[in-house]
Amino acid sequence: MSWIEADSGAALTLSVNGMRHDLKLDARVTLLDALREHLQLTGTKKGCDHGQCGACTVLVNGRRINSCLSLAVMHQADEITTIEGLGTAENLHPLQAAFVAKDGFQCGYCTSGQICSAIGMLGEWREGWPSHLGDRADAAPAIDAAEIRERMSGNLCRCAAYPRIVEAIEHYATHEGADA
């Protein structure tokens, strides 16, 4: 254990979508900027850079976080999953396919974050985590629209595809949730 000096390149390894990447980064580089600017994994979006929009949502060890409010150097022991790790345009993940089928987006800029967030959110639901709506996840048979809305509220969509995002997630959770 030793100090990484200010404004020096720190050698670090990030594991993203199952691939290990050796990088030399300024300690100031956020996980988001490491993905976008250094690995050119630009599916993860920067909408506000302050945890106020959710466009940068990625999965770290399966949990959704805002990658803008975390330093890359803090994630060397973690497995990071981005939108690119879920599916490709030619071979979509079922939730991505549900977004296309239900038109759960318009401009597409918040979409990666919505999808990654939804994957993480459904995992939380399956583990019985409560929400602001109450302690229902253990008892309810399936997630409903109200729970999806509350749990997805950290992902803003200015095009306001909200109702259709909820439909896409609900469809996926009901029909394909077991795949996740």
Partner 1 sequence: MIAFDYIRPADETAALHAATERPGARFIAGGTNLLDLMKLGIERPRYLVDIGALDLREVTETSEGGLRIGALVTNAALAAHPLVRQRYPVLSQAILAGASGQLRNKATTGGNLLQRTRCYFFYDPASPCNKREPGAGCSAIGGFNRIMAILGTSAHCIASHPSDMAVAMRALDARVETRLPDGQTSSRTLEALYRLPGETPHVDHRLAPGELITAVVLPPPPAGRQSYRKVRDRASYAFALVSVAAVVSMREGRITEATLAFGGVGTMPWRNRKAEALLIGQAPSAALFERCADAVLAEATGHGGNDFKIPLLRRTLVASLAKLTGGEP
Partner 2 sequence: MTDVSVKMDAPFEQSLLDRSPVPTIGKEIARIDGPRKVSGAARYAAEHFPDGVVHGVLLRAPVGCGRITAVDATAALAMPGVLAVIRDERMIRNAGDFGGDAAPVQGVDEVAYFGQPIGLVVADSLERARAASLCVRVSFESAPGVFDMMAARDSALPPTDDIFGLFLIHTEQGDVERAAGEAKFLVDTIWETPSQNHAAMEPHASVAIWQEGRLTLHGSYQSPVVTRDQLATVMGLPPSQVRVLSPFVGGGFGGKLGVMPEAVAAAIAAQQLGRPVKVVMSRQQVFETTGRRPMTHQRVRLGANRDGRLTLVQHETITDQLEGEVFFEPAGLATHLLYAGENRMVDHKVVRTNKQLAVSMRAPGEAVGLLTLECAMDELAERLGLDPIELRLLNEPETHPEMDVPFSSRALVDCFRQGAARFGWETRNTRPGQMRDGDWLIGQGVAAAARGNLFGPSRVRATIQGDGRVLVETEMTDIGTGTYTILAQIAADLLGMPLEQVEVRLGDTNDPRSAGSGGSWGATTSGSALYAACAELRARLAAAAGVPVEAVTLANGVLTAPGISRPISELVGNGLSVEGATEPGESNQRFNQTSYGAHFCEVRVHAVTGEVRVLRWTSVFAAGRILNLQTAISQAIGGVVFGIGGALTEELVHDPRTGKIVNRDLGEYHVPAHADIPAIDIQFLEERDPVANPLHAKGVGELGVCGAGAAVANAVYNATGVRVRQFPITLDKLLPGLPPVAG
Residues that bind partner 2 (CB under 8 A): 7, 26, 28-29, 33, 36-37, 40-50, 52-53, 55, 82-84, 86-90, 92, 96-97, 99-101, 103, 105-112, 115, 145, 148-150, 152-166
Element housing 172 (H / E): helix 162-175
Which of partner 1, partner 2, none does residue 169 bind (CB under 5 to 8 Å by kind)? none
For the packed helices 94-102 and 162-175, what is the interaxial angle rounded to 10 degrees? 140
The angle formed by the CA atoms of residues 142, 154 and 17, to the nearest 5 degrees, is 80
62 binds, among partner 1, partner 2, none (CB under 5 to 8 A by kind): none
In the complex with partner 1, which residue's Cβ is closer, 78 or 176?
78
Q: Could you give the CA distance from residue 94 to residue 114 in angstroms, rounded to a whole number?
A: 14
Give the single-character DSSP code of 113. H
**CA atoms of 49 and 168, how far apart (whole Å):** 26
Distance of CA 63 to the CA centre of its chain: 8
Q: Which stretch binds partner 1 (CB under 8 A): 14-22, 37-45, 124-132, 160-168?
A: 124-132
Min separation Cβ 2 and partner 2, Å: 21
Which of 19, 108, 129, 160 contacts partner 1 by CB under 8 A?
129
Per CB under 8 A, 114 contacts partner 1: no
Name the one range near partner 1 by CB under 8 A: 86-94, 101-109, 143-151, 170-178: 143-151
Q: Tell the residue number behind the tokens 């259709």, with chain if given.
A: 164
